[in-house]
Structures are given as C-alpha cells and as structure tokens.
Amino acid sequence: MPQTDDQIAATFAPHDHRECAHRVLDEAAERLADQGARLTPVRRRTLEILLESHRALGAYEVLDRLAAEGFGRQPPVAYRALEFLVQHGLAHRLQRLNAFAACLHPGHDHHPAFLICRSCHKVAEAAAAPVREALTHVAGQGGFRVERVTIEALGLCATCAAEDAPDSTA
C-alpha cells in the first residue's frame, strides 16, 4: 500500500513522527505475530531509529545509535537487526544510498518506488505498480522475465526545491 500524493507531501514536510512511528510499530508487531517472528529489543530499537525521521540511514549510523544506548558496538548487531527488518517487510534497503528506511506500510505486501531527496535525504514510498507492469511488459516482449525491480528516484522535495530556487525578488 504505497503512499498517496498527500502522504508523500507530508513525508517531506516537517511533522511529528511519533504518529507515523506508533502506527508502523503496531502494524509491525501484528505482521511479525502473523509470521511467528519476534521483535526483540534490538530489532525494535532499530526500527524505532529508522522511524524517527523519514530518512534513510546507513548501517553504521544505526550502529552508533544502538551502541550509545548500550546494545553493543559490533557491526553484526546492526546488520542482523536491519536484515531481519528487511526480510520481514519492516524496512527497505535503498541501493543508491547504501542505506535503510523503515517501511511505512509493513502490514501490506507492496513494491514501492522510492522518492529520495538529494538534499535532506528524506525518503517517501510511491506507487510503483504502473512502472513495474510497463517494465515487465517490455521485458517480456524480448523474452526476459523480470524477477525483481527496485525503483529509486533522486530529486528535490518541495521544501528543498524552494530553498534551492533563486530568489525572484532580487
């Protein structure tokens, strides 16, 4: 269930992330219960860290936060937690940034496209179904079978674009 246009705009606008985090944590707990998996304290804290802002974070950024909170300073601590979250549909790995972002719709299986602001590094999930279907169709015409697609669009969110625009009053 990708974000609507309003939700995408809200992702990039300043807002209180607690509401997003509470909703996602509730959906995550339900999803894991359905899968027979467990959200251990380190996994939960890792997801909370990813949910603090709509930014993608590198594994070492997450590790630094976990270590500061007493979860250990060994890289496997963060990598195992992040891999678990990705495997269970609670986080996404963004190849372009070599980073991770919390899934904003963990209760729903989906394949979003990622809109990444190159300035503030916030990330929104957008509907990718039409693009995926078109790509699958074109590939199929050439006898190619698509197995996996990751769509990452890099640009500027409205806030950063406004800050980047030349001053028209000068």
Beta strands in the chain (DSSP E): 91-94, 99-102, 113-117, 123-126, 151-155
Mean pLDDT, residues 144-155 taken together = 89
Q: How confident is the model at residue 66 (pLDDT cuts 50, 70, 90)?
A: very high
Cα dist from 18 to 63, 75, 78, 90, 110, whole Å? 22, 27, 22, 17, 23
Mean pLDDT, residues 108-119 taken together = 84
pLDDT at 128: 80
Architecture of domain 5-161: Orthogonal Bundle (1.10)
Domain ranges of the chain: 5-161
Cα–Cα distance, 47 to 167 (Å, whole number): 39
Cα–Cα distance, 79 to 9 (Å, whole number): 30
Cα–Cα distance, 106 to 108 (Å, whole number): 5
pLDDT tens-digit series, residues 17-60? 677 788 889 888 998 999 999 999 999 999 999 998 878 999 99
pTM, two decimal places? 0.79
pLDDT at residue 170 above 70?
no
Mean pLDDT, residues 60-74 taken together = 94
Q: How confident is the model at residue 11 (pLDDT cuts 50, 70, 90)?
A: low
Cα–Cα distance, 144 to 136 (Å, whole number): 8
Cα–Cα distance, 170 to 166 (Å, whole number): 9
Give the bridge partners for 138, in sequence order.
none
